[in-house]
Amino acid sequence: MSRTLRVAVVGATGVAGQQALVSLDGHPWFQVVTLAASPRSAGKKYVDAITDPATGHLRWACDEPIPAWTKDMTVVDAQTLNAADYDLIFTATDSDSAKVLEPKFAQTTPVISTTSAFRYEADVPIFIPGVNMDHAALLETQKKNRGWKGFITPIPNCTTTGLAVSLAPLHAEFGVTGVSMTSMQALSGAGRSPGVLAMDILDNVIPYIRGEEEKVERETQKILGKLTGTSIVAADFPVSATCTRVNVIDGHTETATVGLKRSASVDEVKQAMREYGKDIVAMNLPSGPKHLITVMDDPFHPQVRIHRDLEGGMTTSVGRIRPDNLLQNGVKYVLLSHNTKMGAAKGATLVAEFLLQKGFIKG
Amino acid sequence: MSRTLRVAVVGATGVAGQQALVSLDGHPWFQVVTLAASPRSAGKKYVDAITDPATGHLRWACDEPIPAWTKDMTVVDAQTLNAADYDLIFTATDSDSAKVLEPKFAQTTPVISTTSAFRYEADVPIFIPGVNMDHAALLETQKKNRGWKGFITPIPNCTTTGLAVSLAPLHAEFGVTGVSMTSMQALSGAGRSPGVLAMDILDNVIPYIRGEEEKVERETQKILGKLTGTSIVAADFPVSATCTRVNVIDGHTETATVGLKRSASVDEVKQAMREYGKDIVAMNLPSGPKHLITVMDDPFHPQVRIHRDLEGGMTTSVGRIRPDNLLQNGVKYVLLSHNTKMGAAKGATLVAEFLLQKGFIKG
Amino acid sequence: MSRTLRVAVVGATGVAGQQALVSLDGHPWFQVVTLAASPRSAGKKYVDAITDPATGHLRWACDEPIPAWTKDMTVVDAQTLNAADYDLIFTATDSDSAKVLEPKFAQTTPVISTTSAFRYEADVPIFIPGVNMDHAALLETQKKNRGWKGFITPIPNCTTTGLAVSLAPLHAEFGVTGVSMTSMQALSGAGRSPGVLAMDILDNVIPYIRGEEEKVERETQKILGKLTGTSIVAADFPVSATCTRVNVIDGHTETATVGLKRSASVDEVKQAMREYGKDIVAMNLPSGPKHLITVMDDPFHPQVRIHRDLEGGMTTSVGRIRPDNLLQNGVKYVLLSHNTKMGAAKGATLVAEFLLQKGFIKG
Amino acid sequence: MSRTLRVAVVGATGVAGQQALVSLDGHPWFQVVTLAASPRSAGKKYVDAITDPATGHLRWACDEPIPAWTKDMTVVDAQTLNAADYDLIFTATDSDSAKVLEPKFAQTTPVISTTSAFRYEADVPIFIPGVNMDHAALLETQKKNRGWKGFITPIPNCTTTGLAVSLAPLHAEFGVTGVSMTSMQALSGAGRSPGVLAMDILDNVIPYIRGEEEKVERETQKILGKLTGTSIVAADFPVSATCTRVNVIDGHTETATVGLKRSASVDEVKQAMREYGKDIVAMNLPSGPKHLITVMDDPFHPQVRIHRDLEGGMTTSVGRIRPDNLLQNGVKYVLLSHNTKMGAAKGATLVAEFLLQKGFIKG
């Protein structure tokens, strides 16, 4: 690239928006030139927009410090943003706002979204870098269908990401016939508003996360589906999910029991996972991991607190790979995916990097 | 009964032994007349045997206060215990000691054990009250085989208990073809020595508990097996378990995905679970629950901190019952079982109560 | 008493109100005949008013199950409540509502309040049962001043309660010259709206609770002050508080360093604490503890999870009593008080019981 | 320096030793050439010495990954270590071993110790970099007294460090007359053997840490004492500590109430803290922080999870600075110090860097 792309972050005051700012901080290709949010924040300096007026307390939700360059930027009203002024727009609003804003922006500009607003539209691919970037061809269909110069492409629900990444090599190599998954999800997946109250999760497990299981089931099938002509044929194996919340800050742990079309030894499964994703790793993208999947042999691994930040939170760790006796050609394992890195804005940034390198976003 | 039974608790200084003392405190039928432990504790007053000499701190592991009557009892050496002096012996030692002590005791006296030492012997039933008490007939075989006047009967691993209880009505009504289970187990299941270090579990999930999955798989099949003549034919459906540890004090949460021989609606499953165990409930045993299974309709229930103590920790709570699309005639749910009540000494006490009422222990 | 008093609970849908219902459940003297709340809840059945319409999830915040008799009661609008219909009103609203409602109610009826709305008025005593019930004489002044037939009497902030209880015998016996206190407060003290987010407290300590230190300082001086004629002369020793939040559900732990007017040995301090409160204990009030203060000798005690529920959460546990070398005649200790029992509605109930027995509330 | 120093780490298999390896990993001046431990580990490869033989699980206690260069090093028996082969020895054993080993090593070689074995000897300075490095002159006395070519210098207890750092500027500028401190200490301060059991701290506070308060009181006075001729005259102000354990992994939070000889405004206190330590910061030592003290104005700060890693865990964060009304010219604040960085091996490394730069260790 000969130049840095001009980027707007929409929904910049929320948690997902803050994560976007962190993932774009010091980025070699993308420069955030505009922060947009709701009218309530518009006109304020960014640092003021996220400060509690009563106490002076900064409502900053990331472990990383707030990037210095954001502090004095004036927040603009997302509804009046002129999308044509940007090469790329990251949206991190709530889903209802996204339904209104994203199509407006996409008329002129590529939109990478962390929301679920358009995930289930037929002409909208849900990207996981390294897994289904061949679905990018669908973006042309979307542009044509909708008469847009830009496009919308959402990333999946953070609980889908690790499952789909771990299933991808199995599906490619051996064929997946079905999967039973139980998630033990982190608090940060619920955000801050309302988020999970400490009283509700201390010494506790919450056995239900509204809407989550349906998302995981549907998105996994779409992501591992096959692009045929101008549409994705969803993978037809059943995905049976039980999603729970545990008292962990960041990082989703998931147990998976998978049936395969043809028998595979534990070593073959490990090998397939270790080999997977070499293409995207080889592209050396700024936000990319060194291994799309990190296979672990210590039976006590992965452990979420210890391993969630491996490779910048962008690798999916898989351990305890062993045979399963329930499903035909069954194999089971435990996976760990960082829900606010690979499963959120940093994953979205990796998508943008890929699309730029491949020419879907103009550099 | 015309009299109170004389009971010895062996391994009385450990956590499981302390739980036995609590479950027998004020018992209408059983009186603990002897506390036995290792030679190191023998000769000491019980309260001294569990006091840290350096600080005076009482190493008492139960939420309930230490029963007053135990304090001044002199601990005897388990190896010199004369079993014939007792009507009933509860053992709560480590498994290696149990292998030596329990057969000695059983020559004269019924032994109810919380250890795994004899669980997998062919002539030893693993009881869960209300589920497989018909296996009690095997005790006669055991006595004959071994030339004992007494017998040994262990309770299952605490992670098996809830799963087996919840499967029992499904197996009886619809036939179980297989089950995939993920446990989120409490800290108290690991005991205190070594137990789980706080540093290892705070903000974390440990994806492995050594030996646990094998126990759950084997014990579930045995418990739900069929007594035929003088042996149990284990249930032949596969049990596929992934056992993890979460930061919860007491109470094991488990997700289960179950295939059935014949199709059952969610309502039929709920009905089968609600009806199950009425026989044992009707016996009105002192430690028994009012419902062997408590079915919950609120999708956010059961929650381990809130519901583990329901009915004295002796009911198995089941929620989120819904269809599963992975297994044939699949159904899935989340269950909760109190690992240090129904899954430990209080469950053992309930076994003893049953066996006494049915004449297997002499009153 | 020859009859049961008719009681209204105002703010019955909130956490403090729910605690009031639990503390009045099955009460021998008080019968809750009306539940009042904001207009939003008015007209609904109580169980519906606290149910999330989207999920059917019951928003019930107490460990104790919801009292069965509350479920079908129709919630009335607090603003239209006719106070004269009741013998006694418990208020558990937010402070702003209390400022409007309580004076209206007090025109005819005694009001026991868990809010801070009137705590700092000169003619309003802040009661801690057993500590300053002689301040009850001030209620007559209040009634005269304000032309009310009833009165308002608030309980203190939950963090004040344990400190004031523990200081009371020291002040009475030896004279207190000053105190430095650091609290480690439970999550339930922050309520549920907004409450403390799990993400904000896991693996963390929050070193500030807005407004809390000022309340503790001011209330402690008032409670330990002396009623002289028609006003309370606040105790004149300095109270220096640092209030923090730790990841504990219920129960406030506080460290206290206290200077005394005259020297006292550790044994004398323990003795003074053990003797204290015998008067109120002797009254045998339904909600009262057996010991106003429980002195502990094990240096590892009190521990909040283990001891918070001692004596129904109504005793103040004090341990680690030892000399302090910083303040003159210094003594220091660690105390534990249950913030949602003695420090909240159950403490308010105990106040009501006392006032009834002494004739300040008409039976 | 013209060369890299040869360093041995003794007690390399324990937690403190592992922290030493991390703090020396890639160090520009020090090269670890030998790992020593007990005879049990001697002769094994380091990675094997810390691996559980039954499960293959690596007992590595740091968040940072194990330095690659350590893995294949053969552990030597600490008792046979030839100290003369090294320029510098770090000891991280238990205190009893240190009493035997450290004097042997010091005959020829400087010993930096994380143990308490020699902290209270009259000719042994306890260093905190930036605070009392002028005490280094005492090392010559020690060498002369004991006829050693080397010396022993321990770092303080991890709970002392933050308190002493925060008091140092106050003592220097205004004179400290006394301090009351309550600590809320992290789990890692208790190490792993035995460490704190998760069951003992979840939803809990432990109000006592054996021996801790005495150490804090004694060491603070020694560190802030004045070197006069050949001995340190301990600071004569009282230090009154209450040390508790909370459920936090790393980082000690402490509340401090301090009396001053002369009155200081909050701004003067902040200024004194911000200015403090500029000398050592200016030395630009490899392990040093950019600010010895980081003063925070947001009343909700410092928070241990968020701020413990500031400046590599080597700064002491101080917030909530405000007047205190209990002590004369009182001021109070909350501080945070990283117990396994500045308070442990990394702090010891900083001491070594200073002593090398100043010529006390030969480069």
**For residue A32, what are the β-bridge partners?**
A7
Chain C residues close to B250, C-beta within 8 Å? none
What are the distances in angstroms from CA A289 to CA A63, A172, A186, A361? 20, 21, 21, 21
Q: Nearest C-alpha of chain C: how many angstroms from A62?
A: 11
Q: Do A297 and D56 touch (CB under 8 A)?
A: yes
B182 touches chain A (CB under 8 A): yes
Using alpha carbons, select from A132, C244, C181 the residue that is nearest to residue D320: C244
For the stretch C315-360, pLDDT in tens is 999 999 999 999 999 999 999 999 999 999 999 999 999 999 999 9
pLDDT band for position A193 (50/70/90)?
Answer: confident
CA triple D272-D277-D278, angle to 5 deg: 100
The mean per-residue pLDDT over the stretch B15-41 comes to 96
Report yes or no: D175 at the B interface, CB cutoff 8 Å: no
CA distance, residue A95 to nearest chain C CA (Å) = 18
pLDDT(B1) > 60: no
Task: Assess contact for C37 and C13: CB atoms under 8 A.
Answer: yes
Residue D215 clears pLDDT 80, i.e. is over it:
yes
Residue ranges of B 97-136 with Cβ closer than 8 A to chain D: none
Contact D205 C304 (CB under 8 A): yes
Give chain C's largest Cα–Cα span. Answer: 62
The shortest CB-CB distance from C203 to any of B63, B202, B306 is to: B202
Q: Are D182 and C335 in contact (CB under 8 A)?
A: no
d(C-alpha D361, C-alpha D136), whole Å:
11
| Closest Cβ opposite residue B253 in set A205, A299, A304 | A205
Query: Which residues of chain C does B56 touch, with a Cβ-Cβ cutoff of 8 Å?
Result: 297-299
Annotate B289-310 with b (16+ C-beta within 10 A) or e (fewer): bebbbbbbebbbbbbbbbbbbb
pLDDT digits (tens, 9 = 90+) for B64-95: 899 999 999 999 999 999 999 999 999 999 99
Q: From the list D57, D203, D298, which residue is nearest A57 (CB)?
A: D298
Subunits with 3+ C-beta pairs closer than 8 A to C? A, B, D
Euclidean distance between CA atoms D10 and D34, whole angstroms: 8
- Residue B5 C-alpha, separation from nearest chain D C-alpha, in angstroms: 34
CA separation for the pair C195, C16 (Å, rounded): 13
The predicted model gives C32-39 an average pLDDT of 97
Q: Answer yes or no: is pLDDT of D57 > 90.
A: no
**Chain C neighbors of A210, CB-CB under 8 A:** 54-55
Can you say whether residue D117 is alpha, beta or left, with left for phi > 0 and alpha for psi between -120 and 50 degrees? alpha
Which residues in chain C have Cβ-Cβ distances shorter than 8 Å to A246?
none
Nearest-CB residue to D188 (from B199, B203, B210): B199
CA terminus-to-terminus distance, chain D: 6
Helix C158-173 to helix C266-275 angle (10° resolution) is 110
- Looking at CA atoms only, how far is residue D248 from chain C in angstroms? 4
- pLDDT bin (cut points 50, 70, 90) of residue D46 is very high
Given CB atoms, is D56 within the 8 Å cutoff of chain A?
Answer: yes
Report the percentage of chain D scoring pLDDT > 90: 92
**Is A300 in Cβ contact with D57 (below 8 Å)?**
yes
Give the pLDDT confidence score for residue D192 in this predicted structure: 77
pTM of the model: 0.95
Reference A345, options A3, A1, A27; nearest CA is A27
How many angstroms separate the CA atoms of C160 and C169, rounded? Answer: 15
Residue A136 tokens read as: 């990018």
pLDDT digits (tens, 9 = 90+) for A275-321: 999 999 999 999 999 999 999 999 999 999 999 999 999 999 999 99
CA distance A230 to A138: 6
Query: Residue C52: which pLDDT band, with cuts at 50, 70 and 90?
Result: confident
| Average pLDDT estimate for A67-96 | 96
Catalytic residue IDs of C: 158, 252
Q: Specify the length of chain D in residues.
A: 363
Helix axes B158-173, B266-275, angle to 10 degrees: 110
Q: How many CA atoms, within 13 angstroms, populate the side-chain half-sphere of residue D334?
A: 31
- Other Cβ atoms closer than 10 A to D289: 23
Nearest beta carbon to residue A249 from set C187, C202, C249 = C202
Q: Is B267 on the interface with C (CB under 8 A)?
A: no
For residues C137 and C143, give the distance between their C-alpha atoms in angstroms, rounded to a whole number: 11
Across the interface, do D299 and A56 touch by the CB < 8 Å criterion? yes
D58 in reach of chain A (CB within 8 A): yes
CB distance from A195 to chain C under 8 Å?
yes
- pLDDT computed for residue D361 by the predictor: 95
B229 is written with which tokens? 């003549």
The reply to whether D158 belongs to the active site is yes
Q: Which residue of A has its CA nearest to D62?
A: A306
Question: Which residues in chain D are contacts of B212 at CB distance < 8 A?
Answer: none
- Give residue-wise pLDDT tens across range B188-238: 988 877 789 999 999 999 999 999 999 999 999 999 999 998 899 999 999
Closest residue of B to D245, CA-based? B198
Nearest by CB to D198, from B54, B55, B198: name it: B198
Nearest 5°: the CA angle D293, D294, D295 is: 110
Count the neighbouring beta carbons within 10 Å of the beta carbon of residue C140: 13
Which of B181, B202, B204 to mutate to test binding with chain A, by most A CBs within 10 Å of its CB? Answer: B204
**Does the annotation mark D338 as catalytic?**
no
E strands along chain D, which residues? 5-10, 30-37, 76-77, 88-91, 111-113, 152-154, 176-185, 226-228, 231-233, 239-245, 252-260, 293-295, 316-324, 330-337
pLDDT at C2 > cutoff 70: no
pLDDT in tens, D261-298: 999 999 999 999 999 999 999 999 999 999 999 999 99
For the cut 90, the answer to whether the pLDDT of residue C147 exceeds it is: yes
pLDDT of residue D218: 97
Q: Which chains neighbour B (Cβ–Cβ under 8 Å, 3 or more pairs)?
A: A, C, D
Q: Most distant CA pair in chain B: distance in Å? A: 62
Q: What is the pLDDT of residue B2?
A: 59
Taking the C-alpha atoms of residue B173 and residue C191, their distance in angstroms, rounded to an integer, is 45
As given in the structure block, the two tokens for residue C99 are 């400022």
Assess A198–D contact: CB distance below 8 Å, yes or no.
Answer: no
Query: C172-210: per-residue pLDDT in tens?
Result: 999 999 999 999 999 998 887 778 999 999 999 999 999
Position B323 pLDDT exceeds 70: yes
Closest CA to D269 of D175, D169, D179, D176: D169
Measured distance CA(B255)–CA(B263) in Å, rounded: 20
Look at residue A334 and tell me whether its pLDDT is greater than 90: yes
**pLDDT, tens digit, 9 for 90 and up, residues C290-313:** 999 999 999 999 999 999 999 999
In this complex, is the C-beta atom of B200 within 8 Å of any C-beta atom belonging to chain C? no
**What gap in Å lies between CA A118 and CA A90, rounded to an integer?**
14
Residue D247 forms contact with B (CB below 8 Å): yes
pLDDT in tens, B240-292: 999 999 999 999 999 999 999 999 999 999 999 999 999 999 999 999 999 99
Query: pLDDT (tens digit, 9 = 90+) per residue, A18-66?
Result: 999 999 999 999 999 999 999 999 999 999 999 988 778 888 988 889 9
CA separation for the pair C224, B244 (Å, rounded): 52
Residue B58: partners with Cβ closer than 8 Å, 6 or more residues away: B47, B50, B51, B52, B66, C298
Q: Is C55 on the interface with B (CB under 8 A)?
A: yes
pLDDT at A2: 58
- Smallest CA-to-CA distance from D188 within B259, A189, A305 is with A305
Specify the higher pLDDT residue, C69 or C52. C69
Q: Which residue type does D210 have?
A: R
Q: Per residue in A217-273, pLDDT tens?
A: 999 999 999 999 889 999 999 999 999 999 999 999 999 999 999 999 999 999 999
Hey, which residues does D253 pair with through a beta bridge?
D184, D336
Please check whether residue C190 touches D, CB under 8 A: no
Burial label for B268, CB within 10 Å (0-12, 13-18, 19+), is middle
The mean pLDDT value of chain C amounts to 95
Say how far apart CA A90 and CA C114 lie, in whole Å. Answer: 47
Instruction: Check CB contact of D306 with chain B, cutoff 8 Å.
Output: no
Q: With 90 as the cut, is the pLDDT of residue B102 above it?
A: yes
Task: Answer yes or no: do C297 and B56 touch at CB < 8 A.
Answer: yes
Query: Which of A206-210, C230-234, D194-198 is predicted least confidently?
Result: D194-198
- What gap in Å lies between CA B171 and CA B152, rounded to an integer? 27
A267 touches chain D (CB under 8 A): no
Chain A residue closest in CA terms to C198: A198
Asked if A63 is an interface residue toward chain D (Cβ–Cβ < 8 A), one would say: yes
- D238 closest CB neighbour out of C184, C210, C325: C325
Q: Which residues of B touch D249 (CB under 8 A)?
A: 199, 202-203
The beta-carbon neighbor of B58 closest among C63, C203, C298 is C298
**pLDDT at residue number B229:** 86
| CB contacts, 8 Å: B205 with chain A | 184, 246, 248, 253, 303-304
What is the sign of the dihedral through the CA atoms of A265, A267, A270 and A275?
Answer: negative
Using CB atoms within 10 Å of the CB of residue D68, give its burial: 0 to 12 exposed, 13 to 18 middle, 19+ buried.
exposed
Helix (H) or strand (E) holding C33: strand C30-37
According to the model, what pLDDT value does residue A3 have? 81
> Could you tell me which residue, B96 or B2, shows the higher pLDDT?
B96
Residue of A nearest to D309 (CA): A63
In what helix (H) or strand (E) does residue B139 lie, and over which residues does it extend? helix B138-146
The answer to whether residue C298 neighbours chain A at the CB level (below 8 Å) is no
pLDDT value for D2: 59
Question: What is the rounded CA–CA span in Å between residue B20 and residue B344?
Answer: 8
Q: Which of A120, A115, A123, A113 is nearest to A88 (CA)?
A: A113
Which residue is closest to B324 within chain A, CA to CA?
A240
Q: Flag whether pLDDT at C1 surpasses 60.
A: no
Judge: C196–A195 Cβ closer than 8 Å, yes or no.
no
Q: What pLDDT was estimated at residue C18?
A: 96
**φ, ψ of residue A208 in degrees (nearest 5):** -155, 135
Measure the CA dihedral C201/C204/C208/C210, to 10°: 0
Q: Do B187 and D196 touch (CB under 8 A)?
A: no
The verdict on A178 touching B (C-beta cutoff 8 Å) is yes
Residue D123 pLDDT > 60: yes
Q: B55–C298: do the CB atoms touch at under 8 Å?
A: yes
According to the model, what pLDDT value does residue D12 have? 97
Residues C33-50: what's their mean pLDDT?
96
Give the burial class of A118: count Cβ atoms within 10 A of its Cβ; 0-12 exposed, 13-18 middle, 19 or more buried: buried
Residues of C in contact with A201 (CB under 8 A): 198
Beta-ladder partners of C314: none
Residue C191 has a pLDDT of: 80
SS3 D330: strand
Q: Where are the beta strands (DSSP E) in D40-132?
A: 76-77, 88-91, 111-113
Beta bridge partners of B10: B36, B91
